[in-house]
Structure 1
Amino acid sequence: MILRRALWEGLLSLVEDAEDVPWILLGDYNAVIDNSEVCGRAADTSASMTEFRDFVTAAGLVHLPFKGCPYTWHNSSEGSRSLWKRLDRVLVNEAWLGAWPQSSYLSALPRTSDHSPLVVLGIVGAQEAKPFRFDNFLARQASFLQSVASVWRHPIHGTLMYGVVCKLKNLKSVFRSKRKEKGDLASNVRQAKEFLATAQALHEQHKEDIFLVLVKCCRMVYCAAVKMENMMLHQRAKLSWLKHGDQSSKVFFRKINSRRARQRVYQIYNSEGECLTEMHKVTDEFISVFQTLLGGVRRRRTIDLSWLRSDANYVLSTGEGECLILPVTEEEIKEAFFDISEESAPGPDGYTSLFYKAAWPVIGRDVCEAVKEFFVSGRLLKQINATTLTLIPKVQMPSQVSDYRPISCCNVIYKAITKVMVKRLQQVLHLIVDQSQNAFVPEIIADNIY
């Protein structure tokens, strides 16, 4: 324990001296993160695991994704005395992931040693075009509404929904340019911090009011740069429990890089047991499985209402039914948009709910008319109806498509339309839901307590 503690302290001092240099630490750490990395008769003490976790966190290191053997050491015993542990691993810092974002390692089968050999794999693939993602900090800029209006005022021929879709598409180039103008936000923060330090030094040296004014100006610029960077990192990391400015950017970067490394798919086994490692084959396998699972053919266009009425415990009266089909109002639509969390992931179009809230004075009327048009026609453009499937691993080491849980990320307009429908249905939900299922009705769950 004492020797390992000295090792953690020594490694920590080395890492702190070269934060901006790519670091990779690999080998036998003789420690585990938690009991899930132990299989057998004995478990490591909680103190040693805690110290190892604390070292990894303090050093700002990330576990590099791996494939192969989950346990890297065996005590060569049999029966009840057999013990497996994951003592060997590869840890890297954020600078490493920035330089080689697709790197991973192979935990191979041991040969003459009782430890598994580790082979670092650096994957250099073709750079794919990044999809558009609206950066929330752009909505806080003074010129935001003016930029939106410069595109939005141009008329589009076609349906109202088509006009909104086209204008949103045309805005993407504007926001890409705005984002490019801001440059590297982390570099902006460092530069603003240096200017502030220089101004403070001048004020300390000369004690003149002109330098005090300079300090105040530099502090304003620095605070604005920090706020902008934190908004961007907060959005990327999706840490809803963190308040803006409460943590350093290292916390955000670590969370972002850790999640990206954990979610990368390097290989997958197909239904025939073949291991696929080429990215186009891995992609085709996911598409094939989910096309089969989700389908794409509408099997029934009409519903036999008489069959539904025969088994229904309650049928809405004419007055209750009319409440559901009243024309949708602008107030309902606006409320639906503003109810969507700013933390929720965007859909395929890349726009967040914060964009709609901030741009509402310019785009609100057109968006409302487009949503009303849908409720009248019942037709939804494929650009709005599109959904991004995000794959979340269900197990620690996913090896096949079924080990991933698909999460649907819908466009904000689609979410708002759904919210309007849900709020309409809530007016009559308590009438049509059976008493034995009233846990689904808000505020009356206590009726199930006897």
Structure 2
Amino acid sequence: MRALLWNCRGAGKPSFAPAFRRLVQLHKPEICVLFETRLSGQNLQKARAAIPRSWGFYAVESQGLSGGIIVTWVQGDYQIDVFNVCKQEVILVISEDNRSPWVLAAVYASTDYRVRRRLWAEASQLITQGYPMLVAGDFNCITDPQEKMGGRAFTYKREIREFQDFIASNGLIDLEFSGPTFTWCNNQQGQTRVWERLDRVYATAGWAQCFFDYHVRHLPRIASDHCPLLVSTDAAVSFHSPFRFEKFWTCYPRSWEIVREAWNVPVRGDAMYRVSRRLELTKRRLRRWNREEVGNIFRRIEESEEAIAGLQAQEALGGSLVEEEMGELRSLLSLHDSLLRQQEIFWRQKSRVQWIQEGNRNTRFFHQSAVIRRHRNRIRVIRDEDGQLVEDPDLIRRVRRVSSGPDGLSRWVLGAQGVL
């Protein structure tokens, strides 16, 4: 699914209609959200008449020449419900056949930070309900100096701290993107020209886990001083991960024996060949051992919890367990504790976070960090040999195959934030 969010700065001006039609024809979004439409009354009815009748439509009227939101969507194998609106956001619940419902909070934040506080509070209240949620649109605020160029020097004002607190307190992930860093420009000339990243896409950890292959693009500024945002939920290309030694394997004495045995296998050849051959042998044996003996630690945790719950329920009903059952319960509790430690080591290694001491259990934090890294490591856009941008997954795989090597892929990759 693709969603287009755009502060169009007036949907009634002559330049809007052709620019919007071009965006829809080129990117084929299923959902379009337009901010600052500056439409109400009959003008809003004219805008509705210009949109295909088969499309869904919802609008928040502007107040004079300011504000206004339009949401329109293609009717398809999903359902979209608008269940809460205010001047600064529209909340959409998107239900698809093959996944749980998720929420899109389309944000058009006020330029007055005191009014924005109401938005932060309303959005926070919804986020705490635990829905997989995307919070996207024009926030009219930045978070750090790198998100501004030109104009007055950046200062940490109260409004910025409040925005940062909103992001941090809700555990929102600032999704990686391709395209221009700055999404807004005042279009002035010389030293008075200012660029800022006002438009952005945030996600909860639950949404990020549901949509591993997302892609966010900042499209060129046309017919507005804001970039349109294009969010795709299934656009990235994934590849098989290379072998990595899992740190939690060291919890098993057998892992040390496997490495020692593989390294002591006689190998003929020069020194580099012997090292390479033994590394390959070690890798194969560790993979087989992990598959056949260690297994999926997450599934084992669930199975041990079910077994523990069964014995404890039996104890509650029968009054006591026989000695053999008590021994089994103690073994299960010990195994469960060991598996939890292995799980934390696993997520700690994936997240590459070193500043939390080992032993302080914070699996949710490590898992969220790993999700962010996985998203950032995906290839979404590259350049081909003709210098053209390639986004089609099949073409990216083809370019990757022919370009791998010491001086291959590096010359094809687009050197822009969020691309690779």
Distance in 2 (CA, whole Å) between partners of 1:205 and 1:50 is: 54
- Find the counterpart in structure 1 of residue 252 from structure 2: 141
Residue deviations 1:40-85, cap 9 Å, x none?
Answer: 4355744333333333334333222212232223445556654432
Which residue of 2 is the match for residue 232 of structure 1?
346
Match of 1:416 in 2: none
Q: Give the structure 2 partner of residue 35 of structure 1.
A: 145
Number of paired residues? 299
1:243 to 337, 342, 357: 357
Q: Which residue of 1 aligns with 2:229?
A: 118
Residues 9, 243 of structure 1: CA spacing in aligned structure 2 closer, same or farther, 3 A cutoff?
same
Give the CA deviation at 1:37.
Answer: 1.2
Q: 2:410 and 2:121 mapped to 1: Cα distance?
A: 52
Q: 1:292 to 1:220 in 2, by over 3 A?
A: closer
CA deviation after TM superposition for structure 1 residue 135, in Å: 1.1
Structure 2 unaligned regions, length at least 5? 1-112
What is the correspondence of 1:3-402 to structure 2 with a 5 Å cutoff?
A: 3-18=115-130, 21=132, 23-42=133-152, 43=154, 45-75=156-186, 82-122=193-233, 128-148=239-259, 151=262, 155-159=266-270, 162-181=273-292, 182-189=294-301, 192=304, 216-268=330-382, 274-275=388-389, 277=391, 278-279=395-396, 280-281=398-399, 397=417
Deviations 1:243-281 (A, max 9, x none): 223241222222223234334443356898654555344
Could you list the runs of 5+ residues in structure 1 that have no partner in the other structure? 294-390, 405-450
Greater share of residues in helix: 1
Which residue number corresponds to residue 108 of structure 2?
none
| Equivalent residue, structure 2, for 1:351 | none
CA contact (8 A) 1:203 1:212 kept: no
C-alpha displacement of 1:125: 6.5
Residue 108 of structure 1, CA deviation: 1.4
The whole-number CA distance in structure 2 between the counterparts of 1:14 and 1:47 is 24
SS in 2 for 1:27: strand
1:27 & 1:9 partners in 2: Cα distance? Answer: 17
Q: 1:143/1:55 Cα in 2 relative to 1: closer, same or farther (>3 Å)?
A: same
Task: Give how far 1:116 is off.
Answer: 1.8
Offset of residue 118 of structure 1:
0.8
- The alignment partner of 1:33 has SS state of coil
Bigger mean CA deviation after superposition, 58-67 or 273-282: 273-282
Partner of 2:53: none
**Cα distance per residue 1:156-201 (max 9 Å; x no partner):** 4445664453333223232223333544434444554566677677
Cα distance change, pair 270–13 in 1 and its aligned pair in 2 (3 A): same
Q: Deviations over 1:190-246 (max 9, x none)?
A: 554566677677778888586986764443222211111122222222222222232
| Residues 64, 92 of structure 1: 8 Å contact kept | yes
Letter in 2 for 1:397: Q
Identify the range of structure 1 (243-252 vs 225-234) with the bigger mean alpha-carbon deviation: 243-252
**TM-score normalized by the length of structure 2:** 0.56
Q: Is the 8 A contact 2:215 2:236 kept in 1?
A: no
Deviation at 1:89, TM superposition (A): 1.0
RMSD: 4.3
The CA distance in 1 between the partners of 2:229 and 2:365, in whole Å, is 28
Worse-superposed segment, 73-82 or 25-34 = 73-82
Q: Distance in 2 between matches of 1:96 and 1:259?
A: 15
SS at match of 2:253: coil
Q: Which digits, 9 at most, give the CA deviation of each residue in 1:97-117, with x for residues without a partner?
A: 445434222211234444321
Give the drift of 1:126.
6.4
The 3 A distance-change label for structure 1 pair 240 and 123 is same
- Say which one has the larger Rg: 1
- Provide the identity percentage: 23
Q: Is the 8 A contact 1:32 1:44 kept in 2?
A: no
* Residues 196/146 of structure 1: CA separation in 2 closer, same or farther (3 Å cut): same
The verdict on how the C-alpha distance between 1:233 and 1:292 changes in structure 2, with shifts beyond 3 A counting, is closer
